[in-house]
């Protein structure tokens, strides 16, 4: 009798559902809007409502029900602290699943980007979080709840730092930086008195693309600007402290595989953040590490994790390649 697994990658903007059989053969896939309790007005009730509707849709069109799914893995945004995890586990049980794992979507990077399925993943996108899984199956998360936990490296933070150092130079005796001149031109700041006005109208008002400010930061660092380089080096240290903190809680016997995921890591065009990150990770942890930029869709991690639960072992390289091919084909059509 054919057995089925479900892998779910649920972010703050979209959710991908992947249905496979226990042999790693693609059955169906579907993309929907966010299922995050943090993005929906009705919080966990919204997560239940959205996921129940989506899951019923993908299962019913394949003549299946939740009882036919032998294992499922949900990598979801907003699973940052134990009470969130418990609430979302309750959501999944109410939908009808019994054999499943619910974790922060950052954990999918470990399952997707490591050879062993264990290690640490540093996410740097709009925000940052570090997660780890060890040889014994224990997993931990450090950060992901904002500046209070030292999440000072994501794209939103880096964009703010560009504004801050330019403001510092203009008003607060800050060190000179080439970022200031370009920022003034980009934001059409007419004079010193117009600086705060334009920041309010354009940056705080959401009319400036933060991604462009991050690209500008990398470019000025490459051109030798000390302040730009320091911002990136400090961000690397901040992420390294979270990653090393993860490692201190895990039992990993051999070289620690560290996966770097998220748009800022993937699109970094200057080395200063990465070099600082590696230096601080190994200085703090005193461990030998290997580093990999995640170049696979994180969703593959959800499918791999579900197959691990179903079969009691990690898929081999042939099965992983087959899963990756099917996921990439699906995502190319979105």
Residue 74 sits at φ, ψ, to 5 deg, of: -120, 110
Of 151-165, 187-201, 273-287, where does mean pLDDT reach its minimum?
Answer: 187-201
Query: What 3-state DSSP class applies to 4?
Result: strand
The answer to whether the Cα torsion of 166, 170, 172, 173 is positive or negative is positive
Whether the pLDDT of residue 26 is over 80: the answer is yes
Question: Tens digit of pLDDT for each residue in 7-22?
Answer: 999 988 899 999 999 9
Question: Tens digit of pLDDT for each residue in 255-283?
Answer: 999 999 988 999 999 999 999 999 999 99
Question: Tens digit of pLDDT for each residue in 78-131?
Answer: 898 899 999 999 999 999 999 999 999 999 999 999 988 999 999 998 889 999
Domains in the chain and their CATH numbers? 4-105+298-332 (3.30.420.40), 106-296 (3.30.420.40)
d(C-alpha 10, C-alpha 22), whole Å? 21
Taking Cα atoms as reference points, which of 269, 262, 261, 187 lies closest to residue 228? 269
Q: What is the pLDDT of residue 267?
A: 93
Q: What is the pLDDT of residue 90?
A: 97
Number of Cα atoms under 13 Å in the Cβ half of residue 333: 9
Whether the Cβ atoms of residue 50 and residue 75 lie closer than 8 Å to each other: no
> Across residues 158-182, what is the average pLDDT?
95
Q: What is the pLDDT of residue 295?
A: 87
Residues whose CB is less than 8 angstroms from the CB of residue 83 and which lie 6 or more positions away in sequence, other chains included? none
Whether the Cβ atoms of residue 59 and residue 12 lie closer than 8 Å to each other: no
- DSSP E strands in 128-182: the ranges are 128-133, 139-142
d(C-alpha 106, C-alpha 132), whole Å? 9
Which letter does DSSP use for residue 203 in this model?
A: I
> Across residues 132-151, what is the average pLDDT?
87
Question: Tens digit of pLDDT for each residue in 290-332?
Answer: 999 998 889 999 999 999 999 999 999 999 999 999 999 988 8
d(C-alpha 54, C-alpha 40), whole Å? 15
d(C-alpha 214, C-alpha 203), whole Å? 13
Taking Cα atoms as reference points, which of 321, 276, 279, 286 lies closest to residue 300? 321
Residue 284 sits at φ, ψ, to 5 deg, of: -80, -40
Site of tokens 């005796």: 173
Whether the Cβ atoms of residue 50 and residue 32 lie closer than 8 Å to each other: yes
> Across residues 219-224, what is the average pLDDT?
98
Site of tokens 């929906």: 40
Of 57-71, 153-167, 181-195, 306-320, where does mean pLDDT reach its minimum?
Answer: 181-195
Whether the Cβ atoms of residue 248 and residue 285 lie closer than 8 Å to each other: yes
Distances (CA, A) of 266 to 22, 150, 246: 31, 21, 21
Looking at the chain, the whole-number percentage of residues with pLDDT higher than 70 is 100
Q: Which two tokens stand for residue 126?
A: 């709009």
> Across residues 42-52, what is the average pLDDT?
96
Higher pLDDT, 205 or 30: 30
Listing DSSP states for 84-138 in one string gives HHHHHHHHHHHHT--SEEEEETTHHHHHHH-SSS-EEEEEESSSEEEEEE-TTS-
Whether the Cβ atoms of residue 121 and residue 91 lie closer than 8 Å to each other: no
Whether the pLDDT of residue 334 is over 80: the answer is no
Query: What 3-state DSSP class applies to 157?
Result: helix
Q: Rounded to 5, what percent of the chain is helix, strand, coil? A: 50, 20, 30
């Amino acid at each position: 009798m054919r057995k089925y697994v479900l892998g779910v990658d649920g972010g703050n903007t979209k959710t991908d559902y992947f249905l496979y059989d226990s042999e790693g053969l693609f059955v169906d896939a579907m993309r929907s809007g966010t299922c995050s309790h943090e993005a929906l007005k009705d919080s966990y009730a919204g997560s239940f409502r959205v996921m129940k509707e989506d899951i019923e849709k993908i299962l019913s069109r394949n003549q299946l029900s939740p009882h036919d799914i032998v294992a499922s893995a949900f990598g979801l945004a907003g699973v940052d602290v134990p009470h969130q995890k418990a609430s979302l586990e309750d959501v999944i049980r109410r939908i009808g699943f019994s054999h499943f794992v619910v974790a922060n979507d950052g954990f999918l990077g470990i399952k997707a980007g490591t050879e062993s399925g264990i290690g640490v993943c540093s996410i740097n996108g709009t925000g940052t979080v570090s997660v780890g899984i060890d040889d014994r199956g224990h997993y931990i998360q450090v950060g992901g709840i904002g500046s209070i936990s030292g999440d000072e490296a994501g794209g939103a933070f880096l964009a703010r730092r560009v504004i801050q150092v330019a403001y510092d130079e203009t008003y607060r005796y800050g060190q000179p930086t080439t970022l200031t001149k370009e920022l003034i031109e980009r934001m059409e700041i007419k004079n010193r008195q117009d600086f705060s006005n334009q920041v309010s109208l354009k940056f705080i008002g959401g009319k400036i693309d933060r991604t462009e400010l991050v690209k500008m930061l990398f470019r000025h660092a490459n051109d030798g600007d000390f302040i730009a380089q320091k911002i990136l080096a400090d961000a690397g240290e901040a992420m390294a402290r979270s990653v090393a903190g993860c490692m201190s809680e895990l039992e990993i016997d051999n070289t620690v595989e560290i996966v770097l995921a998220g748009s800022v890591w993937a699109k970094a065009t200057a080395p200063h953040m990465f070099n600082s990150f590696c230096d601080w990770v190994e200085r703090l942890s005193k461990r030998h590490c290997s580093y990999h930029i995640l170049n696979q869709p994180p969703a593959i991690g959800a499918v791999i994790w579900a197959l691990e639960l179903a079969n009691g072992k990690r898929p081999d390289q042939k099965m992983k390649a087959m899963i990756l091919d099917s996921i990439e084909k699906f995502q190319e059509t979105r």
